[in-house]
Chains A and B, each alone.
Chain A
């Protein structure tokens, strides 16, 4: 219970100099703590970003691997296409050369070319012209050539020629 008519004066344990020093060190401590907290926060954020980037790197690496596979596949396909194109060009050239061989005495109605044979149908003025100007080159190009003639009313001959190319077995 308070029996005094007055209240005691507040006591100052710390002098002004000590208070000033305390304020100074308190401010410094607060600033340093704030900076430490800021850097700690930044570090945490960077760690999170690093983890995300690592995950992204793994994902991109996987995608890159898949793309490399695709590129390899496309390159194979491109080579294959190039081969086909070359073969087609050669074939086209062969057909052109063959058609250049057809003499004026022979009229072709049908040309069927497959991988193993060539079927020609048409009309020739005579067998000699056919044999000498068309049969000879066909025999040089195919392994076997068979021709069937059918006489027409106007004296010409209808022919059906079938040239066969044997498939070569690989050693």
Chain B
């Protein structure tokens, strides 16, 4: 009898699920604000899309209200989060045993890609993320590198380039050569720079003066993070490297012309920039993860 009942319920669930609209809610926490996108999907088409920006990182009443409204659209709603944890990254191995050569993160949760590289996230960070959004509940937690892979799927397969996701609170970058993963770095950009040496402080001030930008703009920090990552890529013997001639720059911020100019002028690399609605892209990623080709 229980088997019969379970079978009936599963069959009915599948049948009913076909008629329901699926709602994918994406949460992208930033440094000062969070973006939330709601994507309604029917079949393989997007029937509705709404992205809103909220003050704060943790769930507040306004966010909760918006999420509750979205959740009421359909019983088949999925909540996805773009991880903003510090303890995450991507390394050129799929072996847990060899992971220690590339990262200090203990007990990582990982997703193996193409059996050649992995995206990882510390188990503690994963737990904290789930706790942060416990009231709404999470169905998917994605690494920023997954988003990069979705955004530049074609270029990753065909070119050797540096792929950057310039996001509100972080910079994620990865180097891939015709689909072969070589290097990745994830840097959380703090509002105030961490303790820096006098030499670095002087260089940063000089940069700020040259570019004539305000002291609250974190562009130099972002540029420094990219510069530092490239230095590691070129000089660290653990990573296979070759000269990068192209940068694909996915930008979620409003004022990024400065950093693009810096990349072009300081690094002498061709930069192709595109602005993205990151919350929408995460929601789309969730939909694709659930099997909907949107």
Q: Count how many chain B residues have C-beta atoms less than 8 Å from C-beta atoms of the other chain.
A: 36
Contacting residues of chain B (167-183) with chain A, CB-CB under 8 angstroms: none
- Size bracket, chain A contacts: 10 to 19
Q: In this assembly, does B206 line the interface, its C-beta being within 8 Å of a C-beta of chain A? A: no
Do B290 and A8 have beta carbons less than 8 Å apart? yes
Q: In this assembly, does B141 line the interface, its C-beta being within 8 Å of a C-beta of chain A? A: yes
Q: In this assembly, does A112 line the interface, its C-beta being within 8 Å of a C-beta of chain B? A: no
Which chain B positions have C-beta within 8 A of A4? 80, 111, 139-142, 286, 289
Do B5 and A23 have beta carbons less than 8 Å apart? yes
Do B76 and A13 have beta carbons less than 8 Å apart? yes
Q: In this assembly, does A22 line the interface, its C-beta being within 8 Å of a C-beta of chain B? A: yes
Q: In this assembly, does B75 line the interface, its C-beta being within 8 Å of a C-beta of chain A? A: yes
Q: Which of A3, A8, A11, A14 meets B146, CB within 8 Å?
A: A3
Contacting residues of chain A (1-58) with chain B, CB-CB under 8 angstroms: 1-6, 8-9, 11-14, 19, 22-23, 26-27, 30
Do A6 and B13 have beta carbons less than 8 Å apart? no
Do B143 and A5 have beta carbons less than 8 Å apart? yes
Do B8 and A5 have beta carbons less than 8 Å apart? no
Which chain A positions have C-beta within 8 A of B113? 1, 3
Q: Is the interface of A mostly helix, strand, loop or mixed?
A: loop
* Least CB separation from A1: chain B residue: B113
Q: Shortest Cβ distance from B283 into chain A, in angstroms?
A: 13
Which chain B positions have C-beta within 8 A of A6? 126, 130, 138-141
* Least CB separation from A12: chain B residue: B75
Which chain A positions have C-beta within 8 A of B290? 8
Q: Which of A5, A12, A14, A30 meets B1, CB within 8 Å?
A: A30
Q: Shortest Cβ distance from A33 into chain B, in angstroms?
A: 11
* Least CB separation from A4: chain B residue: B140
CA distance A1 to B291 in the complex (A): 9
CA distance A23 to B126 in the complex (A): 38
The 0/1 profile, CB within 8 Å of A marked 1, for residues 1-33 of chain B is 100110011001100110010000000000000
Do A3 and B289 have beta carbons less than 8 Å apart? yes
Which chain B positions have C-beta within 8 A of A14? 9, 12-13, 16
Do B75 and A11 have beta carbons less than 8 Å apart? yes
Q: Which residues of B contact A (CB under 8 A)?
A: 1, 4-5, 8-9, 12-13, 16-17, 20, 75-76, 78, 80, 83, 109-111, 113, 119, 121, 126, 130, 137-143, 146, 149, 285-286, 289-290
